[in-house]
Amino acid sequence: MRIIKPGFIIEDEINGIEVLKKIERAGRTCYKSEAKITEDSCREFVKKIIASGHHSVLEHEKVTVRVVCDRSTSHQGVRHRIATFSQESQRFCNYSKEGFGNEITFVQPDFDLEEDDIDLLRAIEAHYFKKIAQGKKPQQARYFLPNGTKTEFVVSMNLRSWRHFFELRTSPKADSQIQALAKGLLAEFRRLIPVIFDDITPEEPTL
Ligand SMILES: Cc1cc2nc3c(=O)[nH]c(=O)nc-3n(C[C@H](O)[C@H](O)[C@H](O)COP(=O)(O)OP(=O)(O)OC[C@H]3O[C@@H](n4cnc5c(N)ncnc54)[C@H](O)[C@@H]3O)c2cc1C
């Protein structure tokens, strides 16, 4: 049994200014104002597009992210429909195999696990392996796996959808683990892409 920390990797190489320039080129088509494009006009143009609510223009660019988290966090993530997901399958992955280190991986929650918690996870792992040894398929043995089981998914969303995801999931109303993921991602997106996420400022928790 292994317990790991959650995390993410942005899979694209992002040139933030090029992202803004592409959105500007698309957006200016609406107003036929391409003649106003200069070396640094994209920042101001995209800022105005966002302020005016003309957010469909942001859909011309997408970002792909790989997330490692527990199954309860991933279950919330995959509710976002304007997105594409590819997720580790508990139907096809047999955790008793060598490729998985002959063990089940769980994700560290945002509280300390105590000795009896670890005992329970060990017992679940032993039960899963017993069922596999008895001839059950991974899709049957997974019935016994808890929400804390590690999963991995790749998600691609356009920038409008990412804005929506951040607005919902960085809120103090969101579950603490997806909130931590969303806040980490938002900080990284803001570092890589100017302007587009600047107006999304997560509130501090009030409780
Ligand atoms: C704090 C919080 C608590 C939550 N609690 C629960 C819960 O208890 N139970 C639960 O089941 N879910 C819960 N959710 C999940 C929530 O209901 C949404 O499924 C999830 O946040 C995805 O949001 P979305 O539908 O806006 O995003 P997306 O699916 O990405 O959709 C983006 C936008 O596209 C539009 N859209 C998409 N599909 C349609 C459609 N069919 N018709 C019309 N417009 C559409 C909407 O404007 C939508 O906001 C919770 C979410 C949050 C943030």
Summarize pLDDT for 109-136 with one digit per residue, the tens: 999 999 999 999 999 999 999 999 999 9
Distance between Cα 167 and ligand 1 center (Å): 12
Tokens at 18, concatenated: 């090029």
Q: Please indicate whether residue 22, judged by its CB atom, sits closer than 6 Å to ligand 1.
A: no
Complete DSSP assignment for 128-182: HHHHHHTT--HHHHGGG--TTBEEEEEEEEEHHHHHHHHHHHSSTTS-HHHHHHH
Assign domain 1-12+60-192 to its CATH architecture: 2-Layer Sandwich (3.30)
* Residues sharing a CB contact under 8 Å with residue 15, sequence separation 6 or more, in sequence order: none
Q: Ligand 1 in contact with 190 (CB < 6 A)?
A: no
148 alpha carbon – ligand 1 mean position (Å):
23
Residue positions annotated with a catalytic role = 169
CA of 168 to the centre of ligand 1 (A): 9
Q: Is 14 in the pocket of ligand 1 (CB under 6 A)?
A: no
Q: Count of CB atoms within 10 A of residue 140's CB? A: 13
Contact residues for 195 (Cβ-Cβ < 8 A; gap 6+): 20, 43, 46, 47, 50
Shortest-distance Cα residue to atom 25 of ligand 1: 80
Ligand 1 atom 49 nearest Cα: 164
Say yes or no: CB of residue 168 within 6 Å of ligand 1. yes
Digit-coded pLDDT (tens) for 64-105: 999 999 999 999 999 999 999 999 999 999 999 999 999 999
End-to-end CA, the chain: 34
Residue nearest to atom 42 of ligand 1 (CA): 81
What are the residue boundaries of the structural domains of the chain, listed by start? 1-12+60-192
Buried b (16+ CB within 10 A) or exposed e, 157-192: bbbbbbbbbbebbbeeebeebbbbbbeebbebbbeb
pLDDT of residue 207: 44
Mutating to test ligand 1, I would choose from 160, 164, 176, 203 the residue with most ligand atoms within 8 A of its C-beta, which is 164
CB atoms within 10 A of CB 125: 21
Nearest-angstrom CA–CA distance, 162 and 59 = 10
How confident is the model at residue 204, as a pLDDT?
A: 61
pLDDT digits (tens, 9 = 90+) for 148-199: 999 999 999 999 999 999 999 999 999 999 999 999 999 999 999 999 999 9
Q: Whose CA is nearest to atom 24 of ligand 1?
A: 80
Distance between CA atoms of residues 44 and 88, nearest Å: 41
Q: Pairing mode, if any, of strands 2-4 and 7-10? A: unpaired
Is the pLDDT score of 201 beyond 90?
A: no
